Structure 1
Amino acid sequence: MSLCGIDEAGRGPIAGPLSVAGAIFINEIEELDDSKKLSEKKREELFDKIKENCHYHIVFKSAKEIDERGISACLKESIKEIMETLKDKCDEFLMDGNTSFGIDTLQHLIKADATIKEVSAASILAKVSRDKYMNEIAPKYKEYDFDKHKGYGTKAHVEAIKKYGRSDEHRVTFRLKALGEEKGSGVQKSLF
C-alpha cells in the first residue's frame, strides 16, 4: 500500500473557501514542491499531472461553514472525509503542519509539503482548486478583485471592504483591525 499526503489552502484568507486535498500516487510525478514555491503556471501544469497519476479527493468548506463551525472544525471534517474516501487506497495518512487535529490515525509533519512528494501533490491540488474557484467567482464580485489576491487580506482588498462592505464570500468572523473591528466571541483571528 502507500501514503496519502494531505494539505490545505485557504486557512488564512478573509474571503473564499477552505480547500483540503489528499493525494496518493499511482505513478511517480517529477518536479513536485510546496505549492507556494511554484509559479502559477507550473502549479497548473502539475495539477493536471497529479489528477492523472494519483488517487485524490478535494474538499471545500465555504466561508459560511467556516463562520458557523470555525476553521479548525472545518479542517478536521475535511481531513476525515478525505481519510474515509481514500482509506482503501493507502495505509498511512500524513498532514502538513504541527497537529493531527485529534485524529489518531493521522500523522503530521511540519513542512511536509516541501519534503514529502505526496503532501506536495496535495498542496498543489488544494491551492490550484481554490485559486480556480476564486477566479470563477471574480466576475460576480468585480469590486473585490478576487482573481488578483484570491481572498487574502491585501491592502487593496481591505480598501474594497471599507468601500463596499463584505460579500457573502467573506468570512465575517475574521475580524480586521484596519476596519476597527475588535476580537470578540466567536472570532477566528485578528488580521491587520
Structure 2
Amino acid sequence: MTFENFEKDYREKGSKLIAGVDEVGRGCLFGDVLSCAIIMKEDSNIEGINDSKKITANKRKKLYFQILEDSLAVGIGRANSKEIDKLNIKMATHLSMVRAIENLRNSKGEVVTPDLVLIDAERIETNIFQHSIIKGDENCYSIACASIIAKVYRDNLCLKWAEMYPGYGIERHKGYGTKLHRELLKKLGPSPMHRMSFLKNLERW
C-alpha cells in the first residue's frame, strides 16, 4: 500500500520524533476505548501495513511484532466505560489519545516526548504540534501502525475481559453491538464494564 509522505514532509521541516496516533473500540457497547501512540524509525517500511480494519486477525498479529521491533517508542492510553459515560465517547477518545502520548516509552522504559503528533481525524488537548489527517489509518504510515497495535492490544484485553465477565461472548464480538451481544445482554443484563450511555440508545439492547 502507498501512503502519503506526511512523516517525510515534516522531517524535512525539522521534526524528528513524529508520533502516529489512532484509537480502537469507539463504537463498542462494552469496555475501554483504547489508543496507541507510536514513533516509528525513520527508515521503517514494513510490507503489508494498512488500516487495521482491512487486515485479517492473523496478519495483524504478525505485523504487531514487526511494528514494535521497528519502533522507537510506543504508548497505550485507555478510557474506561465509566469515563465514557461521564465524558461522552468523543471526549473519552481524546483522553485515551492524550494518555497514549503521555505514556510513550522507548525500549529502555524511558519517557519519549514527540515534537509532532499525526492523529486520525481528531484534534486533542495537547501542547504538542498536531496534524489531524482524514482517514489517517489509510493515508499515513505511522497512524496505520498505531491502528494495528491498538487493535491487537485491545483484542487481547477482550480475552481477559471475557474471563472476568463470562457469558457475554466478549472474546468473539470484542464488545461491539452484534446480534449475539445484544441477545446475551437481554439474557444477562449489563456488566459493570458495559457503557450505559450506549445501552440507553438501544431498544432494550
- Aligned equivalents of 1:163 and 1:13: distance in 2? 19
Aligned to 1:100: 123
Match of 1:83 in 2: 101
Return the alpha-carbon distance in structure 2 between the equivalents of residues 85 and 60 of structure 1. Answer: 10
Q: 2:156 aligns with which of 125, 132, 135?
A: 132
**Residues 4 and 90 in structure 1, CA contact (< 8 A), matched pair in contact too:** yes
Find out whether 1:118 has 2:136 as its counterpart.
no
1:18 aligns with 33
Equivalent residue letter for 2:27: G
Query: AA paired with 2:123?
Result: S
5+ residue gaps, structure 1: 181-192
SS at match of 1:24: strand
1:177 corresponds in structure 2 to 202
Shift of 1:38: 0.3
Give 1:3 deviation, angstroms.
2.0
TM-score when scaled to structure 1? 0.85
SS in 1 for 2:26: coil
In structure 2, how many angstroms separate the alpha carbons of the residues matched to 1:90 and 1:139?
36
Q: Which runs of 4+ in 1 moved over 4 A?
A: 85-89
- The answer for the alignment partner of 1:47 in structure 2 is 64
Match of 2:79?
Answer: 61
The aligned residue for residue 184 of structure 1 is: none
State how far apart, in whole Å, the 1-side matches of 2:95 and 2:61 are: 26
Q: Which residue of 2 aligns with 1:189?
A: none
Q: What fraction of aligned residue pairs are identical, expressed as a percent?
A: 34
In structure 2, give the amino acid aligned to 1:36: K
Structure 1 residue 103 displacement after superposition: 4.7
